[in-house]
Structure 1
Amino acid sequence: MGTLGPGEAEWPGCGRPGRPRPIQNLLLLLGTLLSCSLGGGAQGPGEWTLWGSWSRCSSSCGRGVSVRSRRCIRLPGEDPCWGDTHGYRLCRLPDCPPGAVPFRDLQCALYNGRPVLGAPQTYQWVPFLGAPNQCDLNCLAEGHGFYRSFGRVLDGTPCGPAAQDLCVAGRCLSAGCDGLLGSGALEDRCGRCGGADDSCLWVQRVFRDAGAFAGYWNVTLIPAGARHIRVAHRSRNRLALVGADGRYVLNGDRADAPGTYEAAGTRVVYTRAAGPEETLSAAGPTTQDLLLQVLLREPNPGIEFEFWLPQERYGPFQARAQALGWSLRQPQPREVEPPSPEPPGPAWTPTPAPDPCPPCLDTRGRAHRLLHYCGSDFVFQARVLGRRRHAQETRYEVRVQLVYKSRGPLRGREYVWAPGRCPCPPLAARREYLLAVRRLVSADGAQDRLLLPRDGYARPWSPAEDSRARLAARHCPA
C-alpha cells in the first residue's frame, strides 16, 4: 500500500475487509461497490470533499487572510486529486489605529532577548527587507551588521511595507476580483469578475463635425455606468468636460493643467503632450452623466472617443444622443462577430484595400525567433478581429487562442499596439498569427498595453510554427 498525502483518505478495496471512515461520502461507497461487482478497476483521480468553513481573519485590524480546507478521498490505484487542499481569501477589518506596530515587526520582536544563535548573547530584532524572499521572516539585529531568517512569516503578513499582496504559505499572492488569493481572477471591461466582455457594449466613434465658429461644441454624452473611457485628438483645440450639475470639470473658463481630476465618481486622467496630442481617460464606472465638449480654435481633424456601457443602458443613451443630433454607429457585443464581411465604421481599415505602405524587412530565421521569443513578455496564438489607426500607432483587436508564454494574465480579447501607421510586420484581419509581444506600462499607470515591436515576431500560425515556438521555449535562459 502506498503512502497517502496529507488530507487524503483511502477506501477498502474489492474483497478486502475494512470499513470506511465516517467522513467518507456515501455516494463514493456505492460507486466502489458497483465497481467491485462489475470487476472494474479504479481509474482517474480521487474526489474532493466539500470545502470546510472559512476560518477567522488572521489579523485583528486592517487586511488579513482567512483559510478553508478540504480532503481528497481516493480509491486504491487512483491518482491524487487535482487542485489544492487549502484555499485563501482576503479579509478586511477596520483600519488599524495610528501608531499600531506592523505585523512583521511583531513577529521579529518575539525573538527579542532570546538566545537564538547558540550563544548566551541576546539581541533586539527588527525586520530586514533586503533579503531575496519577501515571505521569509528576516530580522536584523539592531546595532549589528547581520540578519537572521526565522523561517516563514505568518500567513497574512504584507509582502512589503506598502504592498497590497500578502504572504500565504511562503508565497507572495495577490487577491483576484473574487477575493481569493492567487486565483488570478480579473474583471472584464464590463466590470464582471471573470467575465468575457459579453454583458456590455463598446461605443466607439470619431467626431468629425467642424464648427462654423470658434467656441465650445458638444462631442458626446458619456452616460452614467460608462467604463474604460478614452478620448484622443491631435490639434490645438482643447477637450472640455462638463458635470451633471452643468459645471466644468475641465477646461472651462481657463486652461487646466494636465493631471488627475475627480468627476462622476471616477478619476479622469488628462494629458497634453508637448505636441498637439491631447487625451482623456478614466476607468469608471461613472456615477453620473458627463458631457464631452471641444473648444475649437482651428478646424477639427477628428476626435476619437470610446467607452463601454452596460447593454441595458445603451438604448436610453442612444435615444438621448440622437435627440441631440449625434448619430452613433450601432456597437457590437464583444463576443459576437460583426455579421458583415468587413468590420463596420469608417475608422476600420478593410483588408482588401490597397496599402501604400513600403515592404517590411525579412524577419524570418531561427535567430530572430529566439531573440523575440526569449525577450518578450507574452507569446500566444491569436486571431485578428480588426485593425484601427490611432495617430501614429496601429491598434489590432485580437482573440487569444493559445498561450505559449505569459508573464501576467491575458484576457480572451486583447488590444495589441504596433508603432507607426504602416506597422511591420502587418497583420491581416480574420487571420491567425503567432505573436511575441511586450508589456508596456506608462509612468502614471494610466496605460497598460501589449506592444508588437517594429520588425518584431508575428508569423502566420501553422502546426510547423507551433513546433518552432515550443522548441524556442527550451532554449530561452531561465
Structure 2
Amino acid sequence: MGKLRPREAERLAPGPTGRPCPLQNLLLLWTLLNSGLGGNAQGPGEWTPWGSWSRCSSSCGRGLSVRSRRCIRFPQEELCWGDTHEYRVCQLPDCPPGAVPFRDLQCALYNGLPVLGTQKTYQWVPFYGAPNQCDLNCLAEGHDFYHSFGRVLDGTPCSPGTQGLCVAGRCLSAGCDGLLGSDAREDQCGHCGGANDSCLFVQRVFRDAGAFAGYWNVTLIPEGARHIRAAHWSRNHLALMGVDGYYVLNGNWVVSPPGTYEAAGTHVVYTRAATGPEETLRATGPTSQDLLLQVLLQEPNPGIEFEFWLPRERYGPFQAQAQALGWSLRQPQPREVDLQPPEPPPAPTVIPSRTPIPTPEPCPPCPDTRGRAHRLLHYCGSDFVFRARVLGRLHQAQETRYEVRVQLIYKNRSPLQALEYVWAPSRCPCPLLALHREYLLAAQRLISPDGTQDRLLLPHAGYARPWSPAEDSRTRLVARHCPL
C-alpha cells in the first residue's frame, strides 16, 4: 500500500467539533496493522465460540456428539492453536434385545454387492483381528478372508466390551469430562481435573501386637473415604465390619474367600496370595457410611498398612472420633483357639523396648543403559511398552512393586488395565522410578509355573526412561526396526 497524499490526509483531519471522523478511525486501524501489532504479528488467530452439540450418532446405547468452531485470522497469522472439533460421549437408553450392532450394520451394507474387482458377492460380518480396529474390516461368511471397506463411521465402538469409540479412524476414550481424547482424569478426591487439594491423605501403620488371639480394631474408615487400601504380610486376617455390626469379610471366625464384596456403597476387592502371606483390601469409594477395619490375630502383628483419602471437612470429625476411642480403637474380642499361648498384656505404664532396625546398605549405582542399541533390544524383546505414571512404590522382601497408571500403550501382547502393578527384582531396582513422575517402560510378562501369578516384570537394568516428546519419537522410530 502506498503513502497517503497530502490532500487525502487533509480529508481525514478532525471535524469542526474536534471529534475524529470515521475515516480517521480507519487510518488508525491501518497504522496498527502495519506497525508490528497486527500485520507483522506471527501469533495465532482467534477462535469463534463453540457451536452447539450435534444429535447423538446412535439411536440407543452409547454414541457421540460433535461440535465445531472456526479460526479467524489474518493472512500473516498462524493457525489457531487447538482443535476445530470436539467429541463427547452421549448415553441413550440401552438398545433392545436382538438389536443389530452398529458395526454389523455397516458390514451388511455390502451384502450382495460385487467387490474385489469380480462379480462374486458375499455376506459380510465384522472381523476384529485386523491391525486397525477403526477400519471397517469385514469377514466373508463361509470364507477365510476379510476385506477392509475403509473407516468405520464416527461413534462406532472400537471393539466389543470396550469403552473406546472410533473418531476419524482413531480409537479414543473419554476423559472424566466426557470428551473423547481428553486427558482429564479424576483426582484422588473425585474431582475431574482436580489437584488433590480438596481432600487429605490418611496413611498409617497399625503396629499393636495384641495380647491374645482374636479380633482387634485397626481403624475407622469414615463415610466419604476414597481409594482405600489395607495390606499386611502375616498369617493374620483382615476383617471388615459395617455400622450395623455385621461383618463384610472374615467375621465370626470364618475366613472368607478372595473376591469382590459390596459394602458401604462401594466394591471391596479382597485378595490373598496363593503363595505367601500377603493379604490386601482395596476399594475405590466413596463410602456411603462408616466401616470398621479389624484384624483377626493368629500370630504377633508385624504391622498393618492402611491408607485412604478423606474430604477435608470430614477429617476433623474423624480425628476427634479416633482420639475419643483411642487411636488403636482397641476393643478386643478374646476367644480360645489352638494357637501359641499368649503372653500376658504389658502394664499400661510400661513402654516396650524396640529392637533397633538395622540400616540397609546403600544401593550400588545403576549401570549405564543409554543408547539406541539398548532401546532397540528392550523394545523388541519386551511384551509391553507403555507410558505410565508412578502412583506408589512398595519394597517387600527382595522385590519392589510399583503401582502405575497406564497413560499410552505402544506395544502389548495382552490387554493392559488402567491401573497395573509393575514388579522389579531386588530392593535396589535399576533404574529406580520416582513417585508421581511419568516414564516410558518396557516390561515382560512373567507367569508362575502353577499359573497363580501373572506379573509385569521390569528387568534389572531394563528400559525405563522419563517420558518426553523426544522419547516418544525415539520409541515410535525404533518400533519400525523390530523383527516381526
TM-score w.r.t. the length of structure 2 is 0.71
- Retained in 2: the 8 A contact 1:378–1:436? yes
- What SS does the corresponding residue of 1:193 show, helix, strand or coil? coil
Q: Would you say 1:424 and 2:429 are equivalent positions?
A: yes
- Counterpart position of 2:320: 319
Question: What is the CA-CA distance between 1:175 and the residue it aligns to?
Answer: 0.9
Give the distance between the partners of 1:475 and 1:260, measured in 2 at CA: 42
Question: What is the CA-CA distance between 1:361 and the residue it aligns to?
Answer: 6.0
Identity of aligned residues (%): 69
Give the distance between the partners of 1:267 and 1:203, measured in 2 at CA: 20
Counterpart AA for 1:302: G
- Counterpart position of 1:260: 260
Question: What is the CA-CA distance between 1:94 and the residue it aligns to?
Answer: 0.5
- How is 1:67-466 mapped onto 2 (pairs within 5 angstroms)? 67-117=66-116, 119-253=118-252, 254-273=254-273, 274-326=275-327, 355-357=360-362, 359=364, 362-363=367-368, 366=371, 377=385, 389-390=395-396, 392-394=398-400, 407=409, 419=424, 422-425=427-430, 437-438=441-442, 453-456=459-462
Cα distance, 1:470–1:188 mapped onto 2, change above 3 Å: closer
Cα distance, 1:251–1:32 mapped onto 2, change above 3 Å: farther
Unaligned runs of 5+ in 1: 1-11, 16-28, 329-349, 409-413
Cα distance, 1:95–1:70 mapped onto 2, change above 3 Å: same
Cα distance, 1:373–1:200 mapped onto 2, change above 3 Å: farther
Question: What is the CA-CA distance between 1:377 and the residue it aligns to?
Answer: 4.0
Cα distance, 1:160–1:386 mapped onto 2, change above 3 Å: closer
- Counterpart position of 1:23: none
Cα distance, 1:46–1:467 mapped onto 2, change above 3 Å: closer
Give the distance between the partners of 1:139 and 1:419, measured in 2 at CA: 42
Counterpart AA for 2:78: D
Question: What is the CA-CA distance between 1:455 and the residue it aligns to?
Answer: 3.6
- Retained in 2: the 8 A contact 1:231–1:305? yes
Give the distance between the partners of 1:415 and 1:128, measured in 2 at CA: 29
- Deviations along 1:424-448, one digit per CA (max 9) or x if unpaired, are 3486999x999664579999xxx99
- Retained in 2: the 8 A contact 1:436–1:452? no
Give the distance between the partners of 1:124 and 1:473, measured in 2 at CA: 41
Cα distance, 1:158–1:31 mapped onto 2, change above 3 Å: farther
- Retained in 2: the 8 A contact 1:227–1:285? yes
What is the alpha-carbon root mean square deviation over aligned residues?
4.4
Larger Rg: 1 or 2?
2
- Retained in 1: the 8 A contact 2:230–2:282? yes
- Counterpart position of 1:55: 54
Give the distance between the partners of 1:407 and 1:288, measured in 2 at CA: 37
Question: What is the CA-CA distance between 1:199 and the residue it aligns to?
Answer: 1.9
- What SS does the corresponding residue of 1:192 show, helix, strand or coil? coil
- Retained in 2: the 8 A contact 1:372–1:436? no
- Retained in 2: the 8 A contact 1:392–1:419? no
Unaligned runs of 5+ in 2: 5-25, 330-356, 411-418, 448-452
- With 207-216 and 132-141 compared, the bigger mean Cα shift is at 132-141
Question: What is the CA-CA distance between 1:160 and the residue it aligns to?
Answer: 1.2
Question: What is the CA-CA distance between 1:392 and the residue it aligns to?
Answer: 4.8
Give the distance between the partners of 1:71 and 1:216, measured in 2 at CA: 66
Question: What is the CA-CA distance between 1:420 and the residue it aligns to?
Answer: 6.1
Cα distance, 1:165–1:458 mapped onto 2, change above 3 Å: closer
- Deviations along 1:2-42, one digit per CA (max 9) or x if unpaired, are xxxxxxxxxx9x99xxxxxxxxxxxxx99965633646424
